[in-house]
Each structure stands twice: as structure tokens, then as C-alpha cells.
Amino acid sequence: MSKPSIPVTDEAWDERDLGADEDFVAVAEDITEDVIEEAAGTKMISIRLQKSVIEDFKLIASLNGTIGYQTLMKQILHRFVDCEKKRLFRELATEKVKEQEAAQKSVETRTPQRQKKVA
């Protein structure tokens, strides 16, 4: 007899309706958390957020319909980091250009312009 289908939702995972059935468990030899993180290029962290923020993320993710709230959080953090790096690099580039312009003006004011002699 087949088991009833369980909807794939965050709540089903949180309540262990999904992902906790021993019929689908196998022991992976020599697989540690470090090996998994290295292969995925990720690092497990712990963060405390207000419940209302988590609920908002869950709502937004459910309205999006294709991703879970934790994936949404990762995407948002990634976008923020990308935008901040671009902003900082743009500021540094602008500062560097201003420094170069100031240095050029300094050289121009120290070097008198020679007037061409008209023959």
C-alpha cells in the first residue's frame, strides 16, 4: 500500500512530515558536515531574527511560489552583497579619478606654459 502524498511546504519540513521517514534513510560513509560544506561552497551559520521577519519571508516566498523562505533569504543577502560591492567599488573609482585629476592640476600649475614665438 502506498503512503499518502504530503504537500511540499516549509511547514511539512519544519514539522518533520517530510524528510524524516526511515524508509528513505541511508548511511553515507565518510561524509561529514565539513565535506558537504566544502563541496557546496557554503558555511552553516546561526542567526536570530524576529519572528515577524521570518513570517514575512515565508509569505513572500509562498507568493513567489517556487522557492522556500531560506532560499529567498540567501538570494536577498547575495543581491545585497553584490550591490554593496558595486557601490563601494564605484566610490573608490570616483575617489581615484578625483585624486588623479587633482594631481594633474597640481602638475599643470607648477609647470608654466611656454608661449609659442611667432616668427
pLDDT digits (tens, 9 = 90+) for 53-80: 999 999 999 998 889 999 999 999 999 9
The reported pLDDT for the residue numbered 115 is 57
- Cα separation, 18 vs 10, whole angstroms: 9
Interatomic CA distance for residues 80 and 86, integer angstroms: 10
Confirm whether 40 is domain-assigned: yes
pLDDT at position 68 is 93
Q: Which domain holds residue 39?
A: 10-108
C-alpha cell at 15: 514539522
DSSP single-letter state for residue 116: P
Which residues touch 28 (CB under 8 Å, ≥6 apart)? none
Q: How many helices (H) and strands (E) does the chain have?
A: 4, 0
Determine the distance from the C-alpha atom of residue 34 to the mean position of all C-alpha atoms in its chain, rounded to a whole number. 21
Q: How many domains does the chain have?
A: 1
Higher pLDDT, 91 or 15: 91
In this predicted structure, what is the pLDDT of residue 117? 59
Record the pTM.
Answer: 0.55
Cell of 101: 585629476
Asked, for residue 52, whether it belongs to a domain, the answer is yes
39: pLDDT strictly greater than 80: yes
The per-residue pLDDT for range 79-114, each reduced to its tens digit, is 999 999 999 999 999 999 999 999 888 888 876 665
Domain presence at residue 30 = yes
